[in-house]
Structure 1
Amino acid sequence: MKDDELRADLVRRLTEAGRLRTAHWRAAAEAVPRHEFLRGGFFERVPGSSPTWWRPVLADDDTWLERCYRDESLVTQVAGTIVPSDVRGGICRAPTSSSTMPSLVLRMLEDLQVADGHRVLEIGTGTGYSTALLCHRLGDDRVTSVEVDPDVATRARVALGACGHAPELVVGDGLAGYAPSAPYDRTIATCGILEVPGDWIGQTRRGGRILATVSGWLYASELACFTVEEGIARGRFLGGRVSFMLARPHRPPPLGCLPDMSSADEGPTGLAPHAALDDWTSRFVAQLAAPRAQHITLTREDGSAEEVLLDVADGSWAALRQDKGRSLVRQGGPARLWDAVEEHVQRWRADGSPCLERFSITVGPGGQRTTWPTR
């Protein structure tokens, strides 16, 4: 199939599945060729690899064009600098940039609720595909997009130009927004964040909307939509378990050397580690209680698993294991991480375990606060 046929087929499939609901964005998806933003190729996961290995799929591959129009996220950079054309064979490094699956891109743009004449600030240009969709809907002069990686920004600029678009592209820290073109009617982020930056609130008009994925170092995340008031943004979560790579300044620090976890006494806990860390919503609640904690699984000498939470900044840690049906915990450092997690999760359960769509999130001078309805 030709690229225009593949594009039309993608739009048809998304529409029939209810993932593309509005005429304006349907027209944009029909007009913008996604493959132009993937000319440099992408990485595919090597099946069965653990840890994950990636191998390149370049534009001369027989499957490249068809795969550009699947409803899939495609990794376009690993290790901060490496692109598909740099690799022969495979590579085992963490993804650092990607082209998000079209259904999610379009869902977010629909949730943003733009109108004719609106000015939009996009945080994270990436390949430029979502930027092009915004340009088609609003006009190039209404779109400002910020990308932290100069090489990624250059490739996006070339691809956008090939599609006839020339929005305002800025290379810089997206967490600072872009004040020279403010105020904006809408702000949208295509990266995960720990907290909504004050600059985004200050640069978005009163009554405007901010759409961003709020995450943490336990990697439970959710798409949130905020309405801006005077110096404050109030919002709610939209559901759907949306996940993005964290903004580079918000990524967790290296774990480094682990503390001596044999130095603390072990005791029972009323919250099994899998109950808090395996379930998406429970993990999100646990993350609220221990926002700077990271989670790793260690293998003990007897072959059993031990779940560890570690706050690198202050040295607090908790190590949990199962023994004959009991949940046991050891804790060390200045804060008792698991006590905080257990209290938070048990209180959420006592309130009926409300889903994330019922949570409220407020950001202002006092910081970011997330709450759920109580009984």
Structure 2
Amino acid sequence: MPADAARLRRALAEQISEKARTTDPAWLAAVEAVPREVFLGTDFYRPSGSTWEPVNRSRVGEDEWLRLAYSDTTWVTQVDGIDAGDATGPLAGRPTSSSTLPSLVVRTLEVAEIQNGHKVLEVGTGTGYSTAILCHRLGDANVTSIEYDPRLAETAADRLNSIGYSPTLVTGDGLQGYSEGGEYDAVVATCAVRHIPRPWLWQIRDGGSITTTLSGWMLASGLIRLTVDDSGTATGRFTGDTVSYMLARPHERPPRPVFHRLPGRARPSRVDPALLEEWTGHFVAQLAAPSAEFWISGDTDVVLADVATGSQAWTETDRDGWTVHQHGPLRLWDQVEEALVTWQRVGAPDQSAFGMTATDETQTVWLHDPDGPNWSLPA
């Protein structure tokens, strides 16, 4: 049977209603109405081993293309700034833009608690699909979307206009917000940030909200909705969802340093390095060492490396447990270990036990309540 786009959209909406725990039928109606294939254009990448393989619409055929478009999958559209349509073959590199899986788009908007009549600033237009979802629900006049990449912004505008949507579209640094459109009822970011940009706090009305994923150079991530009070202080709790978005480009990691086992101090570790491979353990480690990158390397368990200072830590497992080696002015494992021990001491709860407070001066993530254990963000 030939693929039918309307039928596939209905099936996707039904799938999302279960997967994203969606209770607001308006978002499901938007999924049924917005043609996602328009925003994929003619090319995207899919993972192929350690590379990204370009997929072309004409080569796979229209039926298969529609089935791919309406699968609840993130399709990468740009790798290291190279659009899929410009790739001559598989690429190795970091994804720099994508069409986010629709269930995550809907889940993020549901967490944001957006209602009819709300005025929303979307940070990260990307392909324009999530912008169209917002426009269908709120109307063009209530949607402002800002995109960092000029080429992506132009393409998204063309695609939105082609199906009748005309929100306010801005090309620029979304971390600066867009004051000409404020005050907003909500800021929703389709990219992750290392800290809450101060302009977002300034452009939200009293009682408005900021919904974003907080991430960092270890690429741990947590989805959070913050409410801004009349003093400009934003507070909220993480949802506990195991979801992530790409880091905003101004917050991206520096190039990963070349790892050499440099001489340093060795000692037994008090915690299992495998904790860094758990969702919340990874997040806690990032809070403790926000300027460090993390990866697995060869026969080591984990590697932490700080670009600014050259500090590093690496662990290895033997029959007696775990040994950590540390080099440089920062004792990275000491920082991470102390945070993990603190987290374990209160029962190692999931991410929903964490919250955040952001002001003009300071930003902290705390465990259980603002007076509990807390970690400062690199704001």
TM (norm. structure 1) is 0.93
Match of residue 254 from structure 2 = 253
Match of residue 227 from structure 1 = 227
Any idea what the Cα deviations from partners look like across 1:87-111, whole Å, max 9, x if unmatched? Answer: 2332222211001111111111122
Match of residue 376 from structure 2 = none
Against the structure 1 CA distance between its residues 256 and 353, is the aligned structure 2 distance closer, same or farther, given a 3 Å change threshold? closer
Give the stretch that moved more between structures: 125-134 or 331-340: 331-340
Any idea what the Cα deviations from partners look like across 1:309-350, whole Å, max 9, x if unmatched? Answer: 111112221121112232111212222111111111101111
CA contact (8 A) 2:292 2:307 kept: yes
Match of residue 22 from structure 2 = 20
Q: Say how many residue pairs are matched.
A: 365
Against the structure 1 CA distance between its residues 150 and 18, is the aligned structure 2 distance closer, same or farther, given a 3 Å change threshold? closer
Cα distance between partner residues in 2 of 1:320 and 1:371:
27
Written as runs of structure 1 = structure 2, the 5 A alignment for 1:87-126 is 87-126=87-126
Please state if 1:206 is matched with 2:216. no
Give the stretch that moved more between structures: 231-240 or 52-61: 52-61
Match of residue 304 from structure 2 = 309
Written as runs of structure 1 = structure 2, the 5 A alignment for 1:154-193 is 154-193=154-193
Match of residue 332 from structure 1 = 327
Match of residue 318 from structure 2 = 323
CA contact (8 A) 2:9 2:70 kept: yes
SS in 2 for 1:305: coil
Cα distance between partner residues in 1 of 2:10 and 2:333:
51
| Distance apart, 1:16 and its partner CA | 4.9
Against the structure 1 CA distance between its residues 171 and 18, is the aligned structure 2 distance closer, same or farther, given a 3 Å change threshold? closer
Query: Letter of the aligned partner of 1:352 in structure 2?
Result: G
SS in 2 for 1:298: coil
| Distance apart, 1:202 and its partner CA | 0.6
Against the structure 1 CA distance between its residues 194 and 24, is the aligned structure 2 distance closer, same or farther, given a 3 Å change threshold? same
Cα distance between partner residues in 2 of 1:21 and 1:139:
20
Cα distance between partner residues in 1 of 2:59 and 2:34:
21
Cα distance between partner residues in 2 of 1:136 and 1:298:
46
CA contact (8 A) 1:39 1:59 kept: no
Query: Letter of the aligned partner of 1:222 in structure 2?
Result: G
User: Which structure 1 segments of 5+ residues have no match?
Assistant: none
Please state if 1:274 is matched with 2:269. no
Match of residue 33 from structure 1 = 35
CA contact (8 A) 2:226 2:237 kept: yes
| Distance apart, 1:115 and its partner CA | 2.1
CA contact (8 A) 2:43 2:54 kept: no
Cα distance between partner residues in 2 of 1:362 and 1:70:
37
1:361 to 345, 356, 359: 356
TM (norm. structure 2) is 0.92
Any idea what the Cα deviations from partners look like across 1:121-156, whole Å, max 9, x if unmatched? Answer: 000000101101111111111110000001111110
2:345 to 343, 346, 350: 350
Give the stretch that moved more between structures: 173-182 or 4-13: 4-13
| Distance apart, 1:176 and its partner CA | 0.4
Cα distance between partner residues in 2 of 1:136 and 1:99:
18
Coordinate RMSD, CA, aligned: 1.7
Against the structure 1 CA distance between its residues 256 and 12, is the aligned structure 2 distance closer, same or farther, given a 3 Å change threshold? closer
Percentage identity across paired residues of the two chains: 44
Give the stretch that moved more between structures: 212-221 or 37-46: 37-46
SS in 2 for 1:105: helix
Give the stretch that moved more between structures: 23-32 or 67-76: 23-32
Against the structure 1 CA distance between its residues 59 and 131, is the aligned structure 2 distance closer, same or farther, given a 3 Å change threshold? farther
List, as ranges, runs of 4+ consecutive aligned residues in structure 1 with deviation greater than 4 Å: none
Written as runs of structure 1 = structure 2, the 5 A alignment for 1:23-62 is 23-46=25-48, 49=49, 51-62=50-61
Cα distance between partner residues in 2 of 1:150 and 1:18:
31
